[in-house]
Amino acid sequence: MITFITGGIKSGKTKFGLKIGQKYQKKVYIATAEPFDEEMKKKIDLHRAERSGCWETIEDPINLDDAVKRSIEFDFVMIDCITVWLNNLLYHQKDLNEYIDRFIISLKDMKNDVVIISNEIGMGVIPLEKTTREYLNLLGITNQNIADISDKVVFMVSGYPLFLKGELNNEL
C-alpha cells in the first residue's frame, strides 16, 4: 500500500509518516537531502534524531528508483522527500522525465507498505521568476502522478491529517 503525505513546510508530514511506521519491525527511511549548506545539515541531523535507532537509512539524492529497489527487504519504506529530490535533479541537470518515470515505475512494483512525503507549494502566489514557476509546476505534476498511484493521500495542516483519498484504518 502506498500512502502519499503532502502539506506545507512544518505541517507535520514527516512526523505523521514516522508515526505510521512505528508498528513495523523492519523499516527503512529513504533520504533525498544533500547537505548543501549549514541549514540543510541541521535539518538532516534533526530528521536523523527523530528516527532513533530503529530505522535503517538509505541516502540517495538522485537515483530514487534504485533506492526503492534496494528497500524491497523491508516491511515499511518511508521516502522523504520528493520536493528536495526534484531540486537535486534540477541542480545536477538530470533528465527530469526519465528520473521521474523510473521512480513511478519502481513504486508500482512495491509489495511493502510505502509512505512518500512531498511539499504542497502551489497554494500561494504565482512566483514572478520563470524558473521558480517551472519548479512549482513540475512538483505539482509529480505530486499528482504520485497521488494517482497511491492508495491513500493525506494533506497535513498544522500537524493534523486530512484524508483526501482512502481513509484512516489502523495506521496509528
Active site residues: 47
Q: Are 80 and 20 in contact (CB under 8 A)?
A: no
Q: Are 68 and 106 in contact (CB under 8 A)?
A: yes
Residue with cell 509518516: 17
What would the grid cell of residue 157 be?
Answer: 495542516
- 31 assigned to a ligand binding site: yes
For the chain, the C-alpha Rg in angstroms (whole number) is: 15
- 80 assigned to a ligand binding site: yes
- 49 assigned to a ligand binding site: yes
- 50 assigned to a ligand binding site: yes
Q: Which of 31, 33, 73, 28 is nearest to 54 (CA)?
A: 28
- 51 assigned to a ligand binding site: yes
- 167 assigned to a ligand binding site: no
Q: What angle do CA 119, 125, 131 make, to 5 degrees?
A: 70
Would you list which residues are annotated within the binding site for GTP?
31-33, 48-51, 59, 80
